[in-house]
A and B are shown apart, each in its own frame.
Chain A
Amino acid sequence: MSTFTPRPGSAPLARQVAAQARMEARLMLRNGEQLLLALVIPVIVLVGGVLAAERLGLDLSGHAPVDVLTPGVLALAVMSTAFTSLAIATGFERRYGVIKRLGSSPLPRHGLLLGKVLALLNVVVLQLVVLVVAGLVLGWRPSLDSPLVSAGSVLLAVAAGTWAFAALGLFVAGVLRAEATLALANLVYLLLMAGGGVVLPTSAYGAAAGPISWLPSAALGDAMRAALVDARLDGPAILILLGWGALATLLTARTFRWE
């Protein structure tokens, strides 16, 4: 048999998806900007927030600032990767013809999507590990009233939050040009970080708390805080996240252009 004698065939789907997930996770972690967004900013927010709260004597309903801020920063990290990083990466994949190229490979579109989700979850888990360690170093004591409820609620919140933000990120990346996606994804991230009820509890926003609590950022932050501060499942917050996830998935499915 000569070198180029045809012998076509697809690798098994699971192997293709794993390869795609590894590749995307590696590229995400290699990109300095994304790393800044994924780890450096959340760590700065956490350390800065704790120091500022202690100096200002901020009252967070009787809880130590680090206990309230750490769950919020974990939520921020999920948002940064699932929304901002994913949107930017996908926007440029469209621009550079990567999605088109993969479209003529044996990897089917659902395989590509699955690979993206796995890569995303990989990076999110890595972020959470680093930030949990940073929180513990700063003196964070999560509620130990009911570890099972806490763990289950965190898992649910992270899963629902990742879905909602990833779907929103893909929606933006699928309709806008790469540069516009870059600008918008960063802007939305900054706005939500500052005023979206993610790092600070919605109760800290006074009269605006009502509308803010409907944002996916506040819902994710509230769900994380309920799980880790009060060992409680915040049902309404999870429902809000699921609602955003469903809405954004529908929008994305209708508008996403692969090229």
Chain B
Amino acid sequence: MSEPAVLISGLEMQYGDKRAVDGLSMQVHRGSITAVLGPNGAGKTTTLETCEGYRRPQAGTVRVLGLDPHRQRAALLPRIGVMLQAGGAWSGVRAMEMLDHIASLHAHPLDTVMLHDRLGLGDCGRTPYRRLSGGQQQRLGLAMALVGRPELVFVDEPTAGMDPQARRTTWELLEEIRGDGVTVVLTTHHMDEAERLADQIHIIDRGRLIASGSPTDLTSGGRSATIRLVVTRPFPDGAPESLRSALGPETEVTQLDDRSMLITGPADGGTLGTVSRWCEKHDVLPESLTLGRATLEDVFLRLTGRELVT
């Protein structure tokens, strides 16, 4: 099937003065796990909620499984599964009862007992929702998204509040459903989650798409290296330019703040040596100088000049 599962072009959403989504265009291929990565407030949830038909695009178009999520909502909803960022159940409802209820709204639901066990919720089937831990509520939310056997699931921050083991279980489950032909769109601000799970990553910041690609594309397949230089006193004026000319055209230099810089370039020993000699020559005392394979974290940092940590 060549038609993409999700097609967004030129999406704009504004609330008051705040431009939440600013001309966003992106695609999601069928049968893939696609991560929408970005800091809090980047416009991830707004974009997802537009795909789910909760919000009407103010400009641009959104197509999900070939349908307009707002106008053809009734036709779309049975075919997608939605996991909200939080909540979504009565406070007094029992976990299993809630899942059974959502199942009863679908024509061919999954076996809820199996799903419950797969998500490690076996012990808390009779526990009222308000007494579930944050991680258990998240897993129940995921179960509710999957129970109707959708073609496409939107999961908003699926592992927020989960302990490491629950996170791994969730990741394995998402990989399994992709294997069975379900398309997954997830938002996250965790680099490791995107890097581990996603076939395709869309990095968004301030409502705009700033980079797209597979995890290896985005990190140049590990062929590039990242050096972070933190110094004891503020850099002299013109430091990035001077460092850039010392390192040559293949290297990118981004000043993060007055005492730190990010250098991305070919993964060879020469780069580190050049940086260290440049420090000596300009009387700059490094506090730390670290070299590593470029990660998504570095990609984000280079593109925005900001950390993704929220």
**Is B95's beta carbon under 8 Å from chain A?**
no
Q: Is the CB of A98 within 8 A of B149?
A: no
Chain B residue numbers with a CB within 8 Å of A104 are: 52-54, 77, 80, 82, 84
Chain B residue numbers with a CB within 8 Å of A9 are: 78, 106-108, 148
The verdict on A105 contacting B77 (CB below 8 Å), with A27-B93, A96-B90 known, is: yes
**Is B122's beta carbon under 8 Å from chain A?**
no
Chain B residue numbers with a CB within 8 Å of A7 are: 107-108, 149
Which A1-55 residues have C-beta < 8 A from chain B?
2-11, 15-16, 19-20, 23, 27, 30-31
Q: Is the CB of B102 within 8 A of A4?
A: no
Chain A residue numbers with a CB within 8 Å of B102 are: 105
Alpha-carbon separation in the docked complex, A23 to B91 (Å): 13
- Closest beta carbon of chain B to A181's beta carbon, Å: 15
Chain B residue numbers with a CB within 8 Å of A63 are: none
Q: Is the CB of A97 within 8 A of B87?
A: yes
* Interface range for A: 20 to 34
Chain A residue numbers with a CB within 8 Å of B104 are: 11, 15-16, 19
Chain B residue numbers with a CB within 8 Å of A106 are: 77-78, 105-106, 148
Chain B residue numbers with a CB within 8 Å of A147 are: none
**Is A140's beta carbon under 8 Å from chain B?**
no
Interface of B is mostly: loop
Q: Is the CB of A100 within 8 A of B181?
A: no
**Is A152's beta carbon under 8 Å from chain B?**
no
The contact of A100 among B54, B78, B108, by CB within 8 Å, is B54
| Count of residues in B whose CB is under 8 Å from the partner chain | 40
Alpha-carbon separation in the docked complex, A98 to B141 (Å): 11
**Is B309's beta carbon under 8 Å from chain A?**
no
| Residue of B104, B108, B146, B177 contacting most chain A CB atoms (<10 Å) | B104
**Is A103's beta carbon under 8 Å from chain B?**
yes
Which B84-110 residues have C-beta < 8 A from chain A?
84, 86-93, 97, 101-102, 104-108, 110
The contact of A16 among B84, B105, B108, B181, by CB within 8 Å, is B105
Alpha-carbon separation in the docked complex, A19 to B53 (Å): 24
- Closest beta carbon of chain B to A170's beta carbon, Å: 17
Alpha-carbon separation in the docked complex, A67 to B217 (Å): 82
Q: Give the residue name and chain of the B residue nearest to A105 (CB).
A: B105
Q: Is the CB of A4 within 8 A of B180?
A: yes
Which A96-135 residues have C-beta < 8 A from chain B?
96-98, 100-101, 103-108
Alpha-carbon separation in the docked complex, A216 to B97 (Å): 37
Interface residues of B (CB under 8 A from A): 52-54, 74, 77-80, 82, 84, 86-93, 97, 101-102, 104-108, 110, 114, 144, 146, 148-151, 176-177, 179-182
The 3 closest A-B pairs by CB, nearest first: A9-B107, A97-B87, A101-B88
Interface residues of A (CB under 8 A from B): 2-11, 15-16, 19-20, 23, 27, 30-31, 92-93, 96-98, 100-101, 103-108
6 A-B pairs within 8 Å (CB atoms) are namely: A3-B110, A4-B110, A6-B182, A7-B108, A11-B105, A96-B91
